[in-house]
Structure 1
């Protein structure tokens, strides 16, 4: 019997080995794709070929995060724990071997009374089936929690990528302004030296240049901070030799009817991972109630018994069963019923919240799209033309340096506003896609099963 028992083997931590492995992680296309295929994740179909040799794109970064993100590693391990529970949930209890030995104190020929027994706990109420159903439902809920975590990481990488790309654009636009100011500072300084321009006006260009250079330091720091956050999302070390490719590409727009967003109730209900997880948790609550009801009918205890008494042997059966009329598991059943109602309310209220948030995100995205279009079509051409006119007047000797400085800063401000608007619109579109849920294409195997 003892040969079937398992033995304990310690597995001590090795922080140095983990640190070395973390820093040595490589983005080999074969290993990344192979890991994702083993997981059978549908999100991978939303990205084309994985080729990090020319730099890491947004989609490729999302795939890397699915593989190496530390939070997803824990979520999958918890899912494995639930799978182990489900695998061994419906096992019978081990039989119980008992021995009773009594010695008669009086003087008799055979003074020992020995009673060995072997009892089995026999589930006659369907409790084991209910236990298995609960374990299976718990495992499915853990799987949905993992999928929900993967979708959240997918969205977090995208949002951080947009933030990083916008931060780079802010730096580039500020560098262009500083380059233009460098030329104007030299020109205005020469004019001030020759007495053709007041020193007070020339110093304004110098002050503007110093302020922009000072602000550029913070902007470059912002780029570095967001880049390190991106690497953390992807599970890579801060010094990982990875080249990131900026992108502010807008996710596809969701359905719009008559100029106003139509709430995609069916899409949210079918695709949103949070709702899928809550439906799985409701099934857990159902199975928990089923188990508690089954537990009010106790197991039957039955087994053979042998006894020797005063030299006489007896063979028979020993059994027993508790009578469920005082306790009958009433407390656990009542708690499970309330737990089921809580799970139902959690699903229904989450759907209501998601529908409202989707509409708000759609309205925001539509407003930002209109604002961005107007900036690109109206404001940017206006400030560019104003700057060109101011430069021409200065060259003809008819304009003032203050007008040129104002035109230059207005052009920079407008382009910065365009960057912020495009970022806000991209984040709003990303929110719409996140709230709706991932698009899961029909698998060929599923299509074959549905073919008559």
Structure 2
């Protein structure tokens, strides 16, 4: 009776302790309201540089009061991007799964009781306590696999932050390009309109042929279309940038910064490329994923052994005889032997190994391509900048001659348009070169400096 009473008390204590350790449900209803950051909220944003994923951002100061440079836009993207918030939630799930993998399996308590129908017989009972031994043996491999998965997810988040930084920088460049070129395209449109309106007046007076006016109208239509397309592109850039930064579409950011044409040396790129396998988060994430798969493969091999459950029991039959014993449940590895899972995990490991090598080879190829493309863009930019002074000189000369009525309207507008076109070409090449630099930054990380300097630091 003492043993029976002890088992009952123990069972009651286990039940009470189990309920005490439980997590209770709390509702967390959805909020159907727009929570995007507003214009006023941007001024109150505070960002800890230490939380930034790149060294150059960690050394940068976030101060939106005097406008946002390319570094501050990247910092805001890391802190406020909606997709990164979801990725951080995924990291929390992975950590919870690793916590779950490290927990020991709960023991199994079995209780049964028989009530005899014959007089004089005693109520029979059977109490048993068992434990899955194989789950304990495979716990270490499962825990190591889950920990490696957390590392993979964490590195994947870091790589995603790198990509968001690159997107923010590219959109910053596009926005600044629009700020610089829209006034030029508007000026070109106004010149074409002035020429067309004056030629239309001359044609009505019979001083101009119809085909000449048609050519002027075509030129004006082209200039107007270029300006309109640039306006739409600027609006799309504004939309994309605000969405990336988690801002309301009504927010108008003041973007500041000057183009920095510092040439990247071959030694800088070579050093960054050599360290790429130890630096790129996606490559490190693939290595962590491979480590996790190694442990899954190891656990699958361990699971080939028979499933073993060991238990102890205490019982009494209807004739009031007490017994104490043990039980062992053992699967017989005759047909399955977990061979299917072993083959799956081994093949998965091979695929992850190949995926890592493919990604690494592609990274080297992308860097080589961007380096070659940068050489071409730099040469084109230098040629365009060398030709700009002549075009501007011709435009100034034409403007002076036109003011003195020594130059025809068409020649004047052609000279002005040529200078404007050259300025737009230079801005376009600078945008392409800057985006190419950003592409290298996305591939190599903080080893590559920004192509924009902070003009208010």
Tell me the TM-score range normalised by the shorter chain.
0.7 to 0.9
Aligned to 1:131: 142
**Contact residue 134 and residue 291 of structure 1 kept, 8 A:** no
Aligned to 1:26: 41
CA distance in structure 2 between the partners assigned to 1:435 and 1:370 by the alignment: 23
CA distance in structure 2 between the partners assigned to 1:162 and 1:296 by the alignment: 57
CA distance in structure 2 between the partners assigned to 1:227 and 1:302 by the alignment: 66
Deviation of the 1:263 alpha carbon: 8.8
Answering whether residue 149 of structure 2 is matched by residue 149 of structure 1, we say: no
Answering whether residue 27 of structure 2 is matched by residue 10 of structure 1, we say: yes
**Contact residue 145 and residue 292 of structure 2 kept, 8 A:** yes
Change (3 A) 1:329 1:28: farther
Deviation of the 1:254 alpha carbon: 5.3
Aligned length in residues: 429
**Contact residue 43 and residue 438 of structure 1 kept, 8 A:** yes
CA distance in structure 1 between the partners assigned to 2:103 and 2:146 by the alignment: 12
CA distance in structure 2 between the partners assigned to 1:108 and 1:250 by the alignment: 103
Change (3 A) 1:198 1:132: same
Aligned to 2:445: 437
**Contact residue 144 and residue 277 of structure 1 kept, 8 A:** yes
| DSSP-derived class of the 1:88 partner | helix
Change (3 A) 1:420 1:22: closer
Deviation of the 1:253 alpha carbon: 2.2
Aligned to 1:48: 60
CA RMSD in angstroms, aligned pairs only:
3.2
Aligned ranges 1:374-393 → 2 under 5 Å:
374-377=383-386, 379-391=387-399, 393=401
Aligned to 1:317: 326
Gaps of 5+ in 2: 1-14, 449-457
| DSSP-derived class of the 2:101 partner | coil
CA distance in structure 2 between the partners assigned to 1:370 and 1:226 by the alignment: 28
CA distance in structure 1 between the partners assigned to 2:209 and 2:139 by the alignment: 91
Aligned to 1:237: 248
- The one-character-per-residue Cα deviations of 1:118-140 (angstroms, maximum 9, x if unpaired) are 11223487301111101100100
Deviation of the 1:328 alpha carbon: 2.2
**Contact residue 293 and residue 348 of structure 2 kept, 8 A:** yes
**Contact residue 441 and residue 447 of structure 2 kept, 8 A:** no
**Contact residue 47 and residue 59 of structure 1 kept, 8 A:** no
CA distance in structure 2 between the partners assigned to 1:81 and 1:328 by the alignment: 32
Q: Which 10-residue stretch deviates more, 289-298 or 242-251?
A: 242-251
Change (3 A) 1:159 1:308: same
**Contact residue 199 and residue 208 of structure 2 kept, 8 A:** no
